[in-house]
Amino acid sequence: MKKMPNVDFDIDLFLRLFSDAVRSKRQELSLTQGKLINFLKACDIKVSQAYLSQLEAGQRKDPSARIVIALSAILEIQLDHIIKEASRQYG
């Protein structure tokens, strides 16, 4: 039987790691915040530049699952890696 992975972590830590990943991947892909917002709009998700800036700075503690999934898909962020890292740092 497969061993269940440890997924015990602090949500604030996960959000900080996710925010860092969004900012670094966006910059790595040479996307402006405005361009990323346009990609989100194409997914029928409307966010302001202020919201995205706050999210990247780790100041937003309430992103919806839809926003997290869309950003992950657009920026090719692997959420399982962030979850594992949050669990590692937490535990």
At 1 the pLDDT is: 62
At 7 the pLDDT is: 56
- At 14-64, the pLDDT tens digits run 999 999 999 999 999 999 999 999 999 999 999 999 999 999 999 998 899
> Are 19 and 58 within 8 A, CB to CB?
yes
- Ordered alpha helix ranges (H), the chain: 11-28, 33-42, 49-56, 65-75, 79-90
pTM of the model: 0.86
